[in-house]
């Protein structure tokens, strides 16, 4: 966005997706992408990202991420 004028950048900020600031948010987002991926290769790549993001989370936190991802994916 470096070439976009600041006034336009400021105007677009409300439409930007929220930042994924916690490990749980990143895991959940990666799992949603894995569940909705167009093919097995993309799904595996997203699942691998989720596994990496899950480092340091408890088993209960990971299970909550899985449940949240299933709900968000409509499953």
Q: Is the pTM of this model over 0.85?
A: no
Please tell me the total count of domains within the chain: 1
Q: Which residues of the chain have pLDDT under 70?
A: 1-2
37 found inside a domain: yes
pLDDT on residue 10: 80
11 found inside a domain: no
Quick check: 32 and 2 in contact, CB under 8 A? no
3 found inside a domain: no
d(CA 2, CA 66): 36
Q: Which of 64, 69, 62 is nearest to 35 (CA)?
A: 69
Residue-range definition of the domain harbouring residue 35: 22-72
d(CA 42, CA 40): 6
């Amino acid at each position: 966005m470096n070439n976009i004028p600041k006034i336009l950048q400021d105007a677009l900020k409300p439409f930007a997706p929220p930042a994924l600031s916690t490990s749980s948010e990143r895991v959940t987002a990666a799992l949603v992408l894995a569940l909705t991926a167009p093919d097995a290769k993309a799904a595996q790549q997203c699942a691998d990202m989720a596994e990496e993001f899950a480092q340091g989370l408890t088993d209960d936190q990971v299970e909550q991420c899985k449940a949240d991802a299933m709900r968000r994916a409509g499953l």
